[in-house]
A and B are shown apart, each in its own frame.
Chain A
Amino acid sequence: MKTITFESSENAKRVILALIGKKVDEDGYVVEISSGDRVVTPHNEELTLENFAGVRPGSEVFFTNDLPSLLEQAEFIKV
């Protein structure tokens, strides 16, 4: 699997989210375009655009920009 990095601008995040079928609702939460359901992290927390730091495909694991969330995915995030 290839890892693509992007800059943490709001614009770049919105483009990445659109590419995986997500958008941002009026409260700043990431939602499914198809259903409007809010997406959640592995710890069942709703994901905001501000906290969004990446995603793994397949079962679609979203992670946030805090160290515990990043370190849980370290094996896949590291260069």
Chain B
Amino acid sequence: MSILDTIGGILSNAASSLHIHILSGNNTSNSPKTINKQKVVDKSRDKTVTSIKIDNSVKNFYVLQVPSFTACEIPSELAPLVSEYNKKGIAYVAFEQQQEVTDVLTFEQDQHINGLLKFFKDKLIPRDYVLLRTGLYLKHLRDNNQEEARKQWKRIKLNNTTRDRRVINLAGADYFNTYFRPLYKELQKEKNCLSNFRKQFDDIIDDMHFVVFVGADMSVGEIIRELTEKTSKNIRYGIKDDIIYIHAAGNSTVILEKSIEELRLIFPDIKVKRNIRSGKKLIKVSVWYRINKLDK
């Protein structure tokens, strides 16, 4: 089939989503005719494998044999694709990322997750709502497919701000359910509930006054310093929460374990909860910070 015929087929296809397998230059080997896309989760090996199998069961798949060209000189055969894009008739999406979005939407059908998302949909600004969804899904990945979770977190770290990551971390540690939902319900008794909630949410994300997330590169001294700074600030500003929570997962639990004895010397009222989830160690330390030996 000529390239013009292929492009004609693509543009005349009524399907809303179709796939092109791009071959360029002289790379014509193993050119598939149709495609069957499968995503297989191999839990025993903690891996997700996206495999592409060639068979005759899937329509809307095209092999686009593109001649060699430089970016500045598009071959005339490809002009209809350029023209269709300029007319806003085509959008392009990486196949792997389309699958990831589909996986997230499937996950969000869960009744508990769906209920939480519905609660916050109009209460958070759109960006924070997306970060909430990301955090919930990331927690699901961490519980079921740690390799995929690590891959996603690496991309998140690369493309998002510290504030974004804080919201994601809080969502993953269930704080939208246990902290922000009760906070909103409490504010409902007052006027300007929504704007008050968003203001308080912003302040909390800026300060993270009730939580410390331990990074694998933190030292014992840094953990203690972050906790004591938050303690002093909370007392100074009359924050009503009595507990600061410290979270660590995986490698970062090592340094938190080392910190606990030192923490007890300053904060005698501490509760340590250890869990293993999908083979990964998790620690949550609750610190009743008002009773402390900071001034002694």
A5 adjacent to B164 (CB under 8 Å) = no
Give the contacts of B140-168 with A (CB-CB under 8 A). Answer: 152, 155-156, 158-160, 164, 168
Q: How far is the CA of A79 from the CA of B100 in the complex (A)?
A: 11
CB neighbours (8 Å) of A72 from chain B are: 126-127, 130
> Which one of A51, A57, A78 contacts B102 once the chains associate, using CB atoms below 8 Å?
A78
Q: How far is the CA of A4 from the CA of B152 in the complex (A)?
A: 23
Give B contacts to A, CB under 8 Å: 10, 13, 15-22, 24, 64, 66, 69, 71-72, 74, 78, 81-82, 85-98, 100-102, 104-105, 126-127, 130-131, 133-134, 137-138, 152, 155-156, 158-160, 164, 168
B130 adjacent to A23 (CB under 8 Å) = no
The chain B residue sitting closest to A74, CB to CB, is B101
Give B37 Cβ to nearest chain A Cβ, in Å: 9
Q: How far is the CA of A15 from the CA of B119 in the complex (A)?
A: 42
A27 within 8 A of B: no
B152 adjacent to A66 (CB under 8 Å) = yes
CB neighbours (8 Å) of B16 from chain A are: 2-3
> Which one of A4, A64, A76 contacts B90 once the chains associate, using CB atoms below 8 Å?
A4
Q: Write 5 A-B pairs (CB below 8 A) sorted by A numbering.
A: A53-B97, A55-B91, A57-B91, A69-B159, A71-B130
CB neighbours (8 Å) of B134 from chain A are: 67-68, 71
The chain B residue sitting closest to A21, CB to CB, is B82
CB neighbours (8 Å) of A65 from chain B are: 94, 96-97, 155
The chain B residue sitting closest to A61, CB to CB, is B91
Given contacts A33-B72, A67-B137, contact A5 B104 (CB under 8 A): no
Give A21 Cβ to nearest chain B Cβ, in Å: 8
